[in-house]
Amino acid sequence: MDEEEIKYFVRVRNTDLDGTKSVQIALTGIKGIGPHTSRTITALANVDPRAVLGKLDDESVERIANAVDTYTEQVPDWMVNRQKDVYTGEVRHLLGTDLTMMNDDDVNRMRKMRSYRGIRHETGQKVRGQRTKSTGRTGTTVGVKRKKD
């Protein structure tokens, strides 16, 4: 039994994916694709999610790349990560650097309008309503001094 040649890096959407992992796990290496989205993409591409990505033929990898690119058009609105864009109002699924840039833009917009969340972002405090009495402390540590005997 001869050993198949494995590609250790598979390039999809300007990201090098680990070819030694299963398709479902390797797709999560793209920023903006989590476990649920990767399962959906493998179903749309008609590829076995447990198959090793590096052992797939070029045609299957092309189907996966096509499914990633056309993901927004093929799934319902509730399955995308940007359901209503602030500026255009359209439904989009952002991936990679687009997601990072849009996240930074959102935070900067909140800072500019001086919303509560924007001010929390500016000061480096917790944003999502967590407690801050005992956790999330930054800066110099203040300990308890022991009495000298």
* 34-93 pLDDT per residue, tens: 999 999 999 999 999 999 999 999 999 999 999 999 999 999 999 999 999 888 999 999
Residue-number span of the structural domain to which 23 is assigned: 9-78
Query: Do 14 and 57 fall into the same domain?
Result: yes
Q: What is the CATH number of the domain that holds 40?
A: 1.10.8.50
Query: Do 17 and 64 fall into the same domain?
Result: yes
| Domain final position from 25, 49, 78 | 78
Query: Structural domain tally of the chain?
Result: 2
Query: Do 73 and 110 fall into the same domain?
Result: no
DSSP assignment string, 80-148: SSBSS-TTT---B---THHHHHHHHHHHHHHHHTT-HHHHHHHHT---SS---SSSS--SS---PPPPP
Residue 133 lies in a domain: no
Query: Do 54 and 115 fall into the same domain?
Result: no
Residue 31 lies in a domain: yes
Do the beta carbons of residue 63 and residue 47 sit within 8 Å?
yes
**What pLDDT digit, counting tens, does each position of 98-142 carry?**
999 999 999 999 999 999 999 999 999 999 999 988 888 877 776
Query: Do 47 and 32 fall into the same domain?
Result: yes
